[in-house]
Each structure stands twice: as structure tokens, then as C-alpha cells.
Chain A
Amino acid sequence: MRLRLLSVLVTVTLITACEFPPRKTTGVTDTVNNMSSNSGPLNVPALAGVPQGEFDSAVSQDRIFFDFDKYVVRPDAKLVLTRWVDWIKQHPQHLITLEGHADERGTREYNLALGEKRANAVKEFLVAQGVSPDQITTLSYGKERPAVTGAGETAWAQNRRTVAVVNMGSAL
């Protein structure tokens, strides 16, 4: 049962990785446009040459998932994170924002704190693998930006996540 759930998760993960490539490119020059249109398109096709697109195709998955009310990096996420480490080290010119999210089964303020814990847990993992902490920022959205809607564990499991967003701006 546990195995089956995991395989479903992996499948879902792969699908989402294909469906949601550069969801958002947050950069110094671009912040206003991005946030001022909360209703902007979600499924932007991957653009060759755009850092997020390069990151997504290189690492195959721009997000990792967490257990309910937990912020420990799961063993099944570590392979993906290792790929993130490689790419980030190879691209020191790019700043990465780690966006931490929670599912809707918690109160708003607690989930903001939990999202921050999830983003920070990934940051600590990356830094422990040799990524420069100056290249990473964290941002919690709590339960404010679910990836998918719907009531049920399948949806909630996809929303408990940390997403790596490659900024347009330069780290240098």
C-alpha cells in the first residue's frame, strides 16, 4: 500500500514536472509584473534559453514533496535534490528562490511558518551539499498557492512542496 502510494506520487510528480515548467520567473526587474497579475497563466510552455526551462529539463523535477505537517526532506526527494545541487553549482550566476508550500489542512499562519520550514529544509540540504547559501533565498506561501485544487490526499500531497524557481536576475 505504501509502495503503491509512492509510485502514484512519482507518476504525479513526473506529470506535474512536465505540466508546470517555468511557472514563475521571479527576478529583480520582473517582480512587479509577476505578482501584480495573480491571474497570469499557469501553464507557460518551457522556453528554450530561459533559465527556468534549462533548469527544469536538466533536473526533471522543479519540486519536492513533504509528508503531512512535516518539513523533513524525504529520502525519495534526495535524488532530485542532488540534481538541483549539480545544476545550481554549475550556474553560479543564477539566484534560486525556494518556495515553500503547505496543503489546505492547516491554519493560515501556521502554514506560513510550515512553508518557511519546508523551504529552509531544502536550503539546508543544498548548502550541506556545497551550494553557496548566498545563491539561495526562501519564500513561504503557506497554503495560499496550491498547485492543484480538490479535496483529498492526492491533491494535498501535491501541494505540500518546495519549488525551485530560477530567478531572471544575476547573482553576481
Chain B
Amino acid sequence: MHRLLITSMWILLFRTLGLATILVWGTQDTVTAKPALNVSRGYTRPMPIAITNLVGTSKIESQFGHSIANVISADLERSGFFRPILLTTSLQKIDSLKAMFSDMKAIKIQALLGGEINIGGKGDIQLKFFLWDVSSRKKLVQDVLFAPTEHWRRIAHVIADSIYVHITGEGSYFNTRVAYIAESGPLTHRIKRLAIMDQDGANHRYLSDGSWLVLTPRFSPRINEIVYMSYFRNVPQVYLLDLQKNQQNLLGSFPGMTFAPSFSPDNSKIIMSMTQRGNSDIYEMDLRTRNLRQLTHHPAIDTSPSYSADGLRITFNSDRSGTQQIYVMNKNGSDVQRISFGDGRYATSVWSPRGDLIAFTKFKSGRFYIGVMRPDGSGERQLAEGFLVESPTWAPNGQMLLFFREISPDAQGRGGSTRLYSVDLTGYNERLVATPQDASDPSWSPLLLQHP
């Protein structure tokens, strides 16, 4: 598990929705790092990590330095794998941090993040940071990041991602966004709007005005588009939203209702349900040729299709056995196999980006559950439950999920709520995700910054 980081300068396309920014990332050290945590294995005691403020010379630099450290700390803390300890230091003392290693070791701090921030004349942040393994006194990472100041939170997420990757040995998920449906008004005529935000709830933005009912947004693998369902002009159909142009486009003109859309991993196709004479089957649409192809042919309900990460298989749910169950099939619709056989009804199956698990919603004895199982149906586990929980979506590293939980109001319509939650694969680390209004139908984006 030793990993070499090659000394190089990378130019990375920094895909911020609506703004393309160049982020330069320099790796200066060649280091070996051994993962200190195995995140795949059950419940782990959070690892203490010292996060120092990123020091600067001016007041504004110091303020950004503190803010960035706070965002990094919050990211790591929510993951459940870290117990961040915020330490304040100054430019004069930064070189003497090493002298504190013995003290840190004594209080079980295993890693230390430090760094320096400079804001140039054009308002660009240059940030040098380093991550030390306290026990071995070795530098695990030393990098330089450049970005405009308005993207300071992105810098923080990139650093948190770097820490997570180097210490756990797994992929990370902090520099990501979440598309979801913001809800308001009484349940009998609910107003629903498309909304988008960073994974931690910051940079929140509404993408539709609530004039029309919108449902089930899902990110494209390239993050520049969202596919969703809208009742625009009372005709329920699947639409694409171009996030850079903020432009809504009808996917196509179809004879029936189209719904439950999602992208193929290579961004070339949309998979969805369409109704014909009242029945829902699964269809695939090629985004380039706009050809529609029917994948399932069954008088039962077939819906909620989702591709495997390699794009070769599709999971969906169907009531062809009499109740809703999860099925998998080849991408051309052949070899349909039922994989869920437990008590209850199973729905909204979504394949993990790692390919090892399928997450689902389950309804049993009046309660709803979020769970995972292997693609062959074995190893079923429950991660969350409630009066109504639904719609799991995977973080790009396949270690964390978002879903929504609805608490029903009383007969007078009081006391209800619908909120987003994150939960990890242990099921122990469940957190409310703060949103300005009620929220449902989350979709977790891939990482915004991919190493070339």
C-alpha cells in the first residue's frame, strides 16, 4: 500500500459550475505514505488530527487562513474518521511546530496540517500546505494551490480531500456538490425547486423558481448538467439543465410520461422510465443520436434504473414478482436477475461508484430503511431508518451516502419536515445536512477536481 507521489506541476481544470478556473497544483515532495486507517472496516474510533490555521502576513490573509482551516476541520469531522483539533499558530512559530510533535504524540494526535497563505495583487490565493505524520515525523504531503479568493472554500475542500486520501488510502468526496429539490408550502400543493449547493451546504443556489413541479435531479458524470423530471406546462417529462448556460432542454418528445432519469457513467446516455398505455418500462436514450431504445418489456412496473460504475450492468426495481424488488440486467436489457429476497419491498437501487455495493430504499412493516447489499444480493445491511427515508445517492468514493427523511405532519398539517441526511457505511455516523428549506431527492456529484 505504499504510494509514490511524483514531483510534478499539474495544470488542473477546475470545474466550478458556471466558472471555469485554472487551479495550479504543485507537488514538491516525493514521499511514501501508509494508510493509517482502513475506512472499509466497520466502526473506527475517530483519529485525532491537529489542524493549524494557515498563516499569513496581512490581516485579510490571516482571516482566510482561519476560515480555510475551519472548513477543512468541519469536512474531516463530518466524515467520522477524524477528530480535528484546531490549533492557532503564527508565521514566526510555524517552523517550530515540529518541536511540538512529542507533546502531540502524548495526546494521541497522529497527524498535523500546517501551511502558509499569500494573497497576490490580483486577488489570487497562493496556499502552501503540508501534512505531517506525527509519529514518524515525516511529511506525508506538501503541495501548493492557487485559486481566486472567491473559491477559497474549494481550496479548503481540496486540502481536506488530500488529507483524507493520504491518511485513509481511499478516494475522497469533499470537493463535490449536491443537487436536490427544495420544498416549501403545504403538502397538498407543495412548491418544489431545483437547488444546488456544496457538499457542506455552502454556496447554495436555486436553479428553478417553483412555477412547475420538479423532481429527481441527477448529476451528469461531467458535472456540467443535471437531468431531472419537470411538470413544465403540465406535461411530465425528462429535462436536461445546462448548469453553465442555466438553460433547460427537453430531452425529447415522447408518447408517454418520462421519469426516473439518470446518466450513464460515460455521459453518453440517459436511462429512464417511460409509460406506454399506463405501463412503465425502462428505456435508454443516446444523447448524441437521440435514439430511444427499450430495455425492458414487461407488463409490471419497471423503474428507478441506475448503471453500474463500469456501465455494463443496470440495476432497477420492478413489481413483476408481485411486490417491488431489485433486479440487475446487462446494459442491453438481457440477463434480468432478481437480487433482493429479504422481507419487504425494495426500491431505488443505486450502484456504488466503487462497484462493490448497491444502495436501496426498503419498506417493511410500516417503516422505511436505507440499506446496502452486494450486487449479487448478499450481505444486506441497514444503514438508516424512519417513518419515511428514501432516495440514497453515493458520494464519489462509495463510503458515504445522502438520503432524505420525511417526518409526517399531524392531521392539521403541523410538525412535518423533509430533510437531507448523510450516513456512512457503518450506519453509525448519520448527520443532518443543513438546507435553507425542506429538502428531498439528493444527487451527489462526482469530484469537481480530478487529477489528470
Contacts and interface: CB of A to CB of B under 8 A. Distances in A.
A35 B187 contact: no
A34 B234 contact: yes
A144 B215 contact: yes
A117 B302 CA distance: 12
A26 B185 CA distance: 21
A146 B441 CA distance: 18
Contacts of A49: none
B259 A109 contact: yes
Given A117-B301, A149-B411, A39 B187 contact: no
Contacts of A121: 278
B386 to A, nearest CB: 12
Contacts of B233: 31-32, 35
A42 B188 contact: yes
A140 B215 contact: no
B259 A144 contact: no
B254 to A, nearest CB: 13
B260 to A, nearest CB: 4
Given A34-B234, A39-B189, A149-B409, A113 B347 contact: no
Interface string B331-348: 000000000000001011
A51 B389 CA distance: 41
A145 B211 contact: no
A148 interface: yes
Interface in B349-373: 361, 363
- Give the interface size class of chain A: 35 or more
A110 B324 contact: yes
Interface in B223-250: 231, 233-234, 236
B324 A123 contact: no
B409 A150 contact: yes
A29 interface: no
B231 A109 contact: no
Contact of A149 (B317, B363, B413): B413
A42 to B, nearest CB: 6
Given A36-B211, A109-B273, A140-B275, A145 B189 contact: yes
6 contacts: A109-B304, A110-B303, A116-B275, A140-B257, A147-B188, A150-B411
